[in-house]
Amino acid sequence: MNANRPILMSILQYQDEVNAGKISLFEVLDKLKGLGVAGIELRREIWPKREQEQTAVRDWLKQAGMMVTYATFSTLFSPDEDARKLLYHDMDTAKALGSPLLRIFPGADPFTATDAAWQAANAAVEYAASLGIMIALENWGKLPGGRVRELAHILDRIPALKTNIDIGNYATHGEDVIEAIRTFGDRAVYAHLKDKAGDRSDATTYLGGGTLPMREIIAALNALPQPIIYCFEFVGDGEAEERIKKSVDYLRSFPH
């Protein structure tokens, strides 16, 4: 495997089972090595016992030599003070877990955002830097905040900000994924990998099992010179292990 392209699974693959109490987070962690991945993306929204488990999960991952990233539904442009506090809490959690980044969304139309909103966004990015982590801004599956021009405007105004390239979300909005990779290539630190199984943003499947030009997309991502963490972000639909293993094998079919 390419050391500059570590492959992670997401807790999203077990979202239904975890939220229904059918499987614990630690039972998911026990599957990691057998799935051929280097770690896991955790999420506040899919972690029912986070406050009780966070320290033990961090220690488990560290002892196992596994990577961790943290992704939440927080937004760069916080709509109110409670949302701003939650964003800062998420940054603190990412740092405590040992994640190099926090994945968030824009949350508003950057072309109409107020000066105060931009000041708050800059302050959040500066706070992340003070913690030694990056904010990876994702093109949202909804609008506003999902189009290339919106992300480009935000990244141009906040040079320290990085991006997570979600290949499925660009496709959902009818935009060219390869062109998005070319546009944001030098700012990418993270990539959500999935194939499309339908028009909805959550209609996803394993790599090579859908309709996206996956070989061209992966080749374009692989051609970028900087380290990028790859994370599978398709739903499990009760066959998470099979989908993850198929996707790992798919990535391994590319030259390193």
- Looking at residue 203, what is its pLDDT? 85
Between 135 and 1, whose confidence is greater? Answer: 135
Least confident of 177-186, 191-200, 212-221, 234-243: 191-200
Say how far residue 82 (Cα) sits from the centre of its chain.
Answer: 23
Contact call for residues 188 and 224 (beta carbons, < 8 A): yes
Give residues with Cβ within 8 angstroms of 201, minimum separation 6. Answer: 141, 142, 168, 169, 172
Which residues partner with 44 through β-bridges?
A: none
Q: 181-203 pLDDT, tens per residue?
A: 999 989 999 999 999 987 777 78
Q: What is the DSSP letter of 143?
A: S
Q: Which two tokens stand for residue 235?
A: 């739903």
Q: Which CATH superfamily is domain 7-242 in?
A: Divalent-metal-dependent TIM barrel enzymes (3.20.20.150)
Least confident of 6-20, 79-93, 185-199: 185-199
Q: 30-71 pLDDT, tens per residue?
A: 999 999 999 999 999 999 999 999 999 999 999 999 999 999
Between 230 and 144, whose confidence is greater? Answer: 230
- Looking at residue 131, what is its pLDDT? 99
Tokens 């830097």, residue located: 129
Tokens 């030259």, residue located: 255
**Measured distance CA(209)–CA(212) in Å, rounded:** 9
- Tell me the pLDDT band of 229, cut-offs 50, 70 and 90: very high
* pTM for this entry: 0.96
Contact call for residues 57 and 32 (beta carbons, < 8 A): no
Contact call for residues 169 and 141 (beta carbons, < 8 A): yes
- Tell me the pLDDT band of 143, cut-offs 50, 70 and 90: confident
Listed by start position, the domains of the chain span 7-242
Q: Which amino acid is at 42?
A: L
Over 80: is that where the pLDDT of 157 sits? Answer: yes
- Tell me the pLDDT band of 1, cut-offs 50, 70 and 90: low
Over 70: is that where the pLDDT of 79 sits? Answer: yes
Mean pLDDT of 23-30: 97
Give residues with Cβ within 8 angstroms of 90, minimum separation 6. Answer: 44, 70, 72, 74, 102, 104
Q: 97-112 pLDDT, tens per residue?
A: 999 999 999 999 999 9
Between 93 and 202, whose confidence is greater? Answer: 93
- Select from 16, 68, 85, 80 the least CA-distant residue to 45: 16
Helices 177-184, 214-222: inter-axial angle, 10-degree rounding = 10
